[in-house]
Amino acid sequence: MSYQNILCAVAEGIATVTVNRPDKLNALNRQTIAELTACFRDLAAADEVRVVLLTGAGEKAFVAGADIGELADLTASAAEALACGGQALMDLIENLGKPVIGVINGFALGGGCELAMACTFRYAADTARLGLPETGLGLIPGFGGTQRLPRLVGRGRAQELVLGGDMVPSEEAMAMGLVNKVFPASELMPAALKTAGRLAGKSRLTLGLALKAVGDGLQMTQAGGCRLEAALFGVAGASQDAREGCRAFLEKRKPEFQDS
Ligand code: COA
């Protein structure tokens, strides 16, 4: 499918999705949200895609937020509908069933920070800055930021960032758990591709089960999450890939997984 505001390329099991409005710092207008939603639906269904990288075009921004041009004159129902549409995209990415690595090459603000937080984990350039500046616009985060940020960094830091609206450099974001690793800008994409390549070599079944155990488990009590983990461990344990992985270890060879 061809898109106006995003790029999507697939090579060796790795899809790279690039938000491509660099003149607007890759801001998420409605069309971009719709295109990302269609693209991620396709990627979820595409068997050849094992891992997804999500990044922004140009050197300046990952995504600098929702498109402020579409926020100035909203009614309550239009604003709520916009939030629901953005949240549906974030939920789709978070629950894709395959890893999505956020490759934060520059500003990740507002909806851009929320997009990054919906990814499985995040790598950032040392030049990137992250934050939820919505209160400065008389708004609050609407694409899940008030919920995902405290789950990543804790309530106190999340409240400080949401209320104050300050941008934090990537090193500080890493120290609080908002990004996993920081790289010099030129090394960011090679590092993300290396990690994606390692994940693409694993069993798709196994990674899907692990993603479900962590993701669904976080919505439950610890006891419920452990029960879920045991059930999913049952599925993994009886799989061909568990037999192959364990035998390969014992036979001192590399496993050849079949995703089953
Ligand atoms: N929505 C719409 N347009 C945006 C945008 C957004 N979220 N963020 C940046 N842009 C546009 C600017 O309006 C400008 O367009 P123009 O050249 O047609 O005037 C272009 O992108 C470049 O941005 P500019 O502000 O000139 O770059 P800068 O280097 O001076 O500042 C930022 C960079 C990120 C600090 C600044 O653009 C900014 O604060 N953006 C908004 C961040 C935000 O509040 N996001 C949350 C939205 S809910």
pTM of structure: 0.97
The alpha carbon dihedral of 29, 51, 178, 169 has a sign of negative
| Number of neighbours of residue 245 by Cβ within 10 angstroms | 17
> For the segment 98-118, what is each residue's pLDDT rounded down to a tens digit?
999 999 999 999 999 999 999
> For the segment 5-59, what is each residue's pLDDT rounded down to a tens digit?
999 999 999 999 999 999 999 999 999 999 999 999 999 999 999 999 999 999 9
Instruction: Specify if 46 maps to a domain.
Output: yes
Give the number of domains in the chain. 2
CA of 85 to the centre of ligand 1 (A): 22
pLDDT at 107: 98
- Choose, from 80, 114, 172, 251, the residue flagged as catalytic: 114
CA of 190 to the centre of ligand 1 (A): 27
Instruction: Specify if 256 maps to a domain.
Output: no
Instruction: Specify if 93 maps to a domain.
Output: yes
Name the residue with the closest Cα to ligand 1, atom 29. 60
Does 168 share its domain with 230? no
Residue 87 pLDDT exceeds 80: yes
Residue 122 pLDDT exceeds 90: yes
Residue-by-residue DSSP string for the chain: ---SSEEEEEETTEEEEEE--GGGTT-B-HHHHHHHHHHHHHHHH-TT--EEEEEESSSSEEE--B-GGGTTT--HHHHHHHHHHHHHHHHHHHTSSS-EEEEE-SEEETHHHHHHHHSSEEEEETT-EEE-GGGGGT----SSHHHHHHHHH-HHHHHHHHHH---EEHHHHHHTTSSSEEE-HHHHHHHHHHHHHHHHTS-HHHHHHHHHHHHHHTTS-HHHHHHHHHHHHHHHHTSHHHHHHHHHHHTTS-------
Does 120 share its domain with 238? no
Q: Is 134 among the catalytic positions?
A: yes
**Domain of 209, in residue numbers:** 204-250
> For the segment 148-164, what is each residue's pLDDT rounded down to a tens digit?
999 999 999 999 999 99
pLDDT category, 2, cuts 50, 70, 90?
confident
Instruction: Specify if 69 maps to a domain.
Output: yes
